[in-house]
Amino acid sequence: MGNGNLTASHFFVTGDPLIYSADAAIILSVLSILFFLTRCHKWGWLWREWITSVDHKKIGIMYMIAAMLMLFRGGVDALLMRTQLALPNLQFLRAQHYDEIFTTHGTIMILFMAMPLMFALFNIVVPLQIGARDVAYPFLNAVSFWLFFFGAMLFNLSFVIGGSPDAGWLAYPPLSETAFSPGPGENFYIWGIQISGIGSLATGINFVATILKMRAPGMKLMRMPLFAWSVLSSSIVIIFAFPVLTITLALLFIDRFAGAHFFGMTGGANPMMYVNLIWMWGHPEVYIVVLPAFGVFSEVVSTFAKKRIFGYKSMVFSMLIISVLSFFTWVHHFFTMGAGADVNAFFAVTTMAIAIPTGVKVFNWLFTLYRGRITMASPMLWTISFIPAFVVGGATGVMLAVAPADYQYHNSYFLIAHFHQVLIGGVVFGYFAGLYYWWPKMFGFQLDERLGKWAFWLWNIGFYVCFMPQYALGFMGMTRRVYTYGWDLGWAPLNFVSTVGAFLMGAGFVFQVWQILYSIRHGRRDLTGDPWNGRTLEWSMPSPAPYYNFAQIPQVKDRDAWWMEKQQMPEEGRGNTAVKYEPIHMPKNSGIPFVMAVFWFIAGFGFTFHWIALGIAGLAGVGMSLLARSFQYKMEYEIPVEEIQRVEASMGRIG
């Protein structure tokens, strides 16, 4: 590659009917989107209202849509794998194709599904919940989104152009070095993650600053809703973990691009250093995605039990302890490396120690539910189902943390079952709970409960049917990443059951899509702004919130500010009639974040194929975009009082 003799069959992935049908599907859907936008004259609307938007609520919605698309892609990968493994000696996928699919499944689910779904909730909820008009850096927020989006697009492009990465979701060397992965797949991996990773790091900075500096007057840290606390602790972990990822990927790329010797087998390089570095980011990463889910559960449990959260302070401290401990566990991913008994013992103990603050949280949720007046709406269903899933997943995690026992479990299906159980049971169920909970706030209507219950039960039954057999398969000696197996091993029945479970979860996802489409037309409109009888500030405003959020910044006197307010307020007249508004300063929309991300995409694509001129041109474009922004001065505008009055009146807030 890079010698200029690149032929079409190198550039486009050829020879696989599955990929040809995907090519056709991609081309058809792109054409139909282009046709629809042109036919309905929506290009201007798309540009003005969405692509150039710096409104955190719209950015949150875009994150959510992109994450759902990626959940679909990652889910299809999962179903392809489970189909291949359903029975022994199947020839559904070739070995190479199987390697590519398990690699993209893992990468997409963690980095392009869980992370953006988390950022969707950050953006939609945090400013409303802390009584702010915006995030600290709205422009940077848009940059973050578009970097994630184009990073994900670059990664997905590898599917049809050049070939997908096949060295596993963390691209361990020496397998990911040029000698063993000569094609562009690993370069797509490096640049896709690098570009979106810069965006994630910026989001971490943005939300730490937002939460520390932009809370409404009177909202002391210890009066802050627990979801905002979870975002703060997760963002702090992002700030400390993501620079390590940036360097690790950069060094791997320098190895591949310039023939350097960081992680290979020659020239004094050290492959184990990569494994250490990537897990120094990778283990904190799982706490980055699970902490906000804990925040969601805390909000949901207290709203739907109509009680204050039990043990607020211990909830806060346990999250902070988890975020610190998360940096002292990374070696448990390679107990079998041969680091010695002392090192393994240290990391075994720190890993098990995380179960303590997590257990504290679970008991606090249970105590909050105890004698509460519980309503079993969708968000609460997902929260309740999280508890047994996470208890089993946590217990098997402690089993894996026992270093000597891990020599048996290492890289077996037991491990696969464990991390799917905590990541689906903890993170995915948590974010679903959050989406169902805040959906009316985003769109002004509720999702249909009947279809939601179908989705819920399919997901939950499928979840156990899929992963419980995998624990047993692990004990029976089945390792991860095997692409087929023989009848003689006796793994067939359990594998078949597991595949059935995976398809049940897939059916659950179909019901969710149906639920959304159905509810757009038939969902109950949320006219109160407070459909769940909520406790925190986001429920004090209409649904969806006006673009400036709060017409007047609220003054907070206690925890659960909106609940306290409702207790003191007479039944009628939530709207304030005789209020005096001040003009509001808002950031102007900007096309620069989108353009800058396109240049990053061009740079990444160029370096992926060793087209250095294109790569440098892309980077130059990024630099020009930054300079263009630096030379902009008047970047704010003022909303006059009359417009605020008009908007508030149209939402029934005044007059």
Partner 1 sequence: MQHAEASHEQIGHLDHEALKVFGFWIFLVTDCLLFGTLFGVFVVLRSHTDGGPTGKELFEIPGFVAETFILLTSSFTSGIATLAMNQGNIKRVIGWLIVTALLGLAFVGLEVSEFTKMAMEGATISRSAFLSSFFTLVGTHGLHVSIGLVWMTALMIQLRRHGMNAVTRRKMTIIGLYWHFLDAVWIFLFTVVYLMGVM
* Chain residues in the site for partner 1 (CB under 8 A): 136-137, 140, 201, 205-206, 208-209, 212-214, 216-217, 239-240, 242-244, 246-248, 250-251, 254-255, 258-262, 266-270, 273, 277, 540, 552-557, 561, 565, 579, 582, 585, 623, 627, 630-631, 633
- Nearest to partner 1 of 65, 250 (CB atom): 250
Mind giving me the DSSP string for 226-245?
Answer: HHHHHHHHHHHHHHHHHHHH
Shortest spacing between CB 620 and partner 1, in angstroms: 11
CB of 553 to partner 1, least distance (A): 4
Q: Which CB atom, from 265 or from 366, has the smaller least distance to partner 1?
A: 265
Smaller CB separation from partner 1, 44 or 631: 631
Give 91 or 568: the residue with its C-beta nearer to partner 1.
568
Of 30 and 579, the one with the shorter C-beta distance to partner 1 is: 579
Of 609, 91, 502, 277, which Cα lies nearest the Cα of 618?
609
Q: How far is 143 from 588, CA to CA, in rounded Å?
A: 14
Q: Give the CA-trace dihedral at 382, 332, 353, 475, to 10 degrees.
A: 60
Residue 599 beta carbon to partner 1: minimum distance, rounded to whole angstroms: 16
What is the nearest approach in angstroms of partner 1 to the Cβ of residue 557? 8
Q: How far is the CB of 439 from partner 1 (least distance, A)?
A: 25
Ramachandran angles phi, psi of 385, nearest 5°: -70, -20
- Radius of gyration from C-alpha coordinates of the chain: 25
Closest approach of partner 1 to the CB of residue 497, in Å: 44
The gap from C-alpha 334 to its chain's centroid, in whole angstroms, comes to 25
**Among candidate residues 223, 288, 281, the one with its CA nearest the CA of residue 430:** 288
Question: What is the C-alpha to C-alpha distance for residues 52 and 528, in angstroms, rounded to an integer?
Answer: 30
Which whole-number Å values give the CA distances from 2 to 6, 257, 328, 610, in the listed order? 7, 10, 41, 5
Instruction: Yes or no: say if 139 and 632 are a contact pair by the CB < 8 Å rule.
Output: no
Nearer to partner 1, 53 or 540 (CB): 540
Given a contact cutoff of 8 angstroms between Cβ atoms, the answer to whether 603 and 591 are in contact is no
What's phi and psi for 542, nearest 5 deg? Answer: -65, 160
Buried b (16+ CB within 10 A) or exposed e, 39-56: eeeeeeeeeeebbbbbbb
Assign 523 to helix, strand or coil: coil
Compute the least distance from the CB of residue 490 to partner 1, in Å.
Answer: 45
Residue type, 158: S
* 506: amino acid identity, one letter: G
Distance CA 289, CA 391 (A): 17
As measured in angstroms, the least distance from the Cβ of 236 to partner 1 is: 10
Q: Which is nearer to partner 1, 223 or 480 (CB)?
A: 223
Q: How far is CA 154 from CA 149, 244, 275, 357, 500, in A?
A: 9, 22, 24, 38, 32
Which pairs count as long-range contacts for 36-40, CB under 8 Å and 24+ apart, including other chains?
none
**Please, which residue, 144 or 368, has the CB nearer to partner 1?**
144
- Pull the structure tokens for residue 577: 């009639």
- The least CB distance from residue 540 to partner 1, in Å, is 7
Indicate the residue among 264 and 426 with the shorter CB distance to partner 1: 264
Asked if the peptide bond before residue 544 counts as cis, ω within 30 degrees of 0, the response is yes
The CA distance from 381 to 386, in Å, is: 9
**What is the smallest separation between the CB atom of 313 and partner 1, expressed in angstroms?**
24
C-alpha distances out from residue 205 to 151, 231, 286, 421, Å: 19, 11, 18, 30
Cβ at position 160, least distance to partner 1 in Å: 32
Distances (CA, A) of 548 to 117, 128, 551: 23, 10, 7
Q: Rounded to whole angstroms, how far apart are CA atoms 27 and 600?
A: 23
Region for 632 from its dihedrals, namely left if φ exceeds 0, alpha if ψ lies in -120 to 50, beta otherwise: beta
Looking at beta carbons only, is 22 or 628 nearer to partner 1? 628
What are 490's two structure tokens? 């006796």
Tokens 């179960």, residue located: 355
Measured from the CB atom, is 201 or 505 closer to partner 1? 201
d(C-alpha 295, C-alpha 426), whole Å: 11
Which one, 21 or 266, has the nearer CB to partner 1? 266
Least spacing, CB of residue 306 vs partner 1, in Å: 20
- Decide whether 41 or 631 has the Cβ nearer to partner 1: 631
Minimum distance from CB of 405 to partner 1 (Å)? 30
CB of 397 to partner 1, least distance (A): 27
Nearer to partner 1, 16 or 565 (CB): 565
